[in-house]
């Protein structure tokens, strides 16, 4: 913990006095008080943060933009977008593109938002995910300074997706970043937000991101969370969405690995007609550890949620899916569905799945189901009896399992990246492109 105290002192000492500085101090005190969840905290039962707690992460002093370009060359989905790129958490204007922003759209790095619109920005920070939320959120707040501010005006349909690229590369020492993403989508607006977490194989980085998203009446946000931080990197992600009446939040949540990835997703359905949908994939290999905790609060009548999560785990990978749905008293006519299907490709892979329903109303439709299995042997035999190699047959069946989730991705380059990654071990004799 000591290195955090030193890093924090250095980080906050030059800050101007005011709300933000004092909040950071309070947040750091909260972080020190709680400590990392090492000893049997229920919410962290299946995810061990000991290795994370032991490492000395520092804020990066300099960042290697050439290395960042290399990573982008290999894995960027290269959309026609409005984009902010962060290298080891630090805004990189050289790699970003904010030209041609529509008038009613604000996309800016948080550092600029704090300079230009301090009061507005502070008003949005910590409202949904404050320092009392949990230890990582407190730590994020203590180091608040980087991230993004996105505001969409009322009635705006934003044509190009907005991309936030969280990129990590190797530095002199293990580094950390604490981005905070603030999104306010105005009434009746519609927007697509892509967040791509990626890194080089050599990067040793800890990303501790918090996003606070507010959808006003009838707003629609489609969120593409594409997570592949690199085999030596940690990613702790909290996404908290507040939804007003008739708003829609659609999340394509694709997790392609990392040393340890933990997601906390919270949706507050605070207005009648509000709807949230999660469609997610965990694809783990080696000793990767991928953990999803979701929480949907049906706080008003006639609110809807659907969650479909699939996990494919190979080698010694471990997955956790904990999906919680709470239906408040008097929240009638709720429809909440949750399903979790898991495919274990090796004997040593493991999944812990736990759906939780807390229902305090009586006129509700809630369902959940979880299945775990291996590849279907009869299907495997059928494919091989047509001359397909064992490897190819397994690849096709694995891809088929993922497709229910992957097929829903409606931005073609993202779909392609996910499909080729999952099908990574397909021999090239099946060229999927020309079919």
Partner 1 sequence: MIEIKDLHARVEGTEILKGLNLSIQPGEVHAIMGPNGAGKSTLSAVLTGREGYEVTSGSVTFEGEDLLEMDVEERARAGLLLGFQYPVEIPGVKNVYLLKAALNAKRKEQGLDEIEAPAFMKLIREKLKFMKMDNSFMHRAVNEGFSGGEKKRNEILQMLILEPKLALLDEIDSGLDIDAMKTVADGVNSLRTAERSILMITHYQRLLDYIVPDVIHVLVDGRIVKTGDKSLAFELEKKGYDWLLEGAA
103 binds partner 1 (CB under 8 A): no
The residue ranges of DSSP E strands in 304-433, in sequence order, are 304-313, 318-327, 334-344, 350-359, 364-373
Between the alpha carbon of residue 119 and those of residues 25, 115, 241, 401, the distances in Å are: 18, 10, 21, 48
320 sits near partner 1 (criterion: CB under 8 A): no
- State which residue, 26 or 423, has the beta carbon closest to partner 1: 423
Interface with partner 1 includes 371 (CB under 8 A)? no
Whole-angstrom distance, CA of residue 40 vs CA of residue 49: 11
- Select the span of 194-202, 255-263, 283-291, 385-393 touching partner 1 (CB under 8 A): 385-393
Residue pair 268/241 in contact (Cβ under 8 Å)? The answer is yes
Listed in sequence order, the residues at least 6 apart from 350 whose beta carbon sits closer than 8 Å to its beta carbon are 313, 317, 318, 319, 344
According to the binding rule CB under 8 A, does residue 396 interact with partner 1? yes
Kindly determine how many residues on this chain lie close enough to bind partner 1 according to the rule CB under 8 A: 29
Using CA atoms, how far residue 366 sits from 339, 341, 352, in Å, is: 11, 17, 21
Rg (CA), the chain: 21
390 binds partner 1 (CB under 8 A): yes
Q: Does 375 bind partner 1 (CB under 8 A)?
A: no
Smallest gap, in angstroms, from Cβ of residue 244 to partner 1? 37
Q: Mark the segment that binds partner 1 (CB under 8 A) among 169-177, 196-204, 284-292, 392-400.
A: 392-400
Q: How far is the CB of 185 from partner 1 (least distance, A)?
A: 34
Q: Any idea of the CA torsion for 294, 295, 296, 298, to the nearest 10 degrees?
A: 170
Pick from 392, 413, 415, 421 the residue near partner 1 by CB under 8 A.
392
Give min distance, CB of 68 to partner 1, in A: 36
Interacting residues of 75 by C-beta distance below 8 A, sequence separation 6+: 196, 198, 228, 417
431 near partner 1, judged by CB under 8 A:
yes
Report the residue from 379, 410, 424, 425 that binds partner 1 according to the rule CB under 8 A: 379
Q: Which of 97, 272, 403, 421 binds partner 1 (CB under 8 A)?
A: 403
Verify binding: residue 378, partner 1, rule CB under 8 A. yes
Give 67 or 422: the residue with its C-beta nearer to partner 1. Answer: 422
Q: Which residue among 388, 411, 414, 417 contacts partner 1 (CB under 8 A)?
A: 388
> SS3 for 107?
strand
Give dist(CA 259, CA 261) in Å, integer. 7
According to the binding rule CB under 8 A, does residue 432 interact with partner 1?
yes
The phi-psi region of residue 420 (left if phi > 0; otherwise alpha if psi is between -120 and 50; otherwise beta) is alpha
Binding site for partner 1 (CB under 8 A): 376-379, 381-390, 392-393, 396-397, 399-401, 403-404, 429-432, 434-435
């Amino acid at each position: 913990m000591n290195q955090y105290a030193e890093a924090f002192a250095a980080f906050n000492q030059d800050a101007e006095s005011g709300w933000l500085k004092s909040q950071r101090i309070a947040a750091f005190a909260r972080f020190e008080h709680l400590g990392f969840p090492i000893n049997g905290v229920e919410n962290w039962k299946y995810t061990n943060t000991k290795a994370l707690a032991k490492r000395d992460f520092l804020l990066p002093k300099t960042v290697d933009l050439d290395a960042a370009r290399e990573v982008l060359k290999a894995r960027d989905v290269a959309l026609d977008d409005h984009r902010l790129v962060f290298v080891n958490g630090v805004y990189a204007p050289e790699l970003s593109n904010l030209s041609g922003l529509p008038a009613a759209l604000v996309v800016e790095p948080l550092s600029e938002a704090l300079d230009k619109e301090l009061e507005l920005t502070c008003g949005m920070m910590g409202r949904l995910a404050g320092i009392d939320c949990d230890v990582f959120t407190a730590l994020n707040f203590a180091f608040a300074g980087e991230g993004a501010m996105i505001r969409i005006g009322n009635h705006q349909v934003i044509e190009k997706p907005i991309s936030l690229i969280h990129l990590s590369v190797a530095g002199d020492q293990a580094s950390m970043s604490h981005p905070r993403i603030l999104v306010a989508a105005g009434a009746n607006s519609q927007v697509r937000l892509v967040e791509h977490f990626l890194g080089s194989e050599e990067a040793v980085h800890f990303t501790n991101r918090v996003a606070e998203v507010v959808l006003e009446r009838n707003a629609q946000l489609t969120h593409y969370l594409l997570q592949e931080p690199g085999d030596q990197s940690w990613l702790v992600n909290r996404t908290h969405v507040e939804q007003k009446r008739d708003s829609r939040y659609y999340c394509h949540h694709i997790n392609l690995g990392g040393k340890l990835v933990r997601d906390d997703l919270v949706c507050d359905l605070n207005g009648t007609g509000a709807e949230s949908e999660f469609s997610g994939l965990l694809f783990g290999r080696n000793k990767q550890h991928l953990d999803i905790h979701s929480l949907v609060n049906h706080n008003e009548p006639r609110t809807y949620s659907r969650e479909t999560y699939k996990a494919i785990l190979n080698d010694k990978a471990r997955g956790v899916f904990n999906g919680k749905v709470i239906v408040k008293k008097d929240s009638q006519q709720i429809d909440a569905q949750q399903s979790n299907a898991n495919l274990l490709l090796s004997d040593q892979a493991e999944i812990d799945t736990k759906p939780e329903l807390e229902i305090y109303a009586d006129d509700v439709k809630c369902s959940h189901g979880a299945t775990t299995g291996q590849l279907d042997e009869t299907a495997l035999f059928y494919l091989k009896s047509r001359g397909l190699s064992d490897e190819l047959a397994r690849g096709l069946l694995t891809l088929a399992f993922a497709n229910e989730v992957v097929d829903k991705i409606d931005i073609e380059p993202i779909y392609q990246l996910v499909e080729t990654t999952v099908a990574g071990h397909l021999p090239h004799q099946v060229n999927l492109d020309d079919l």
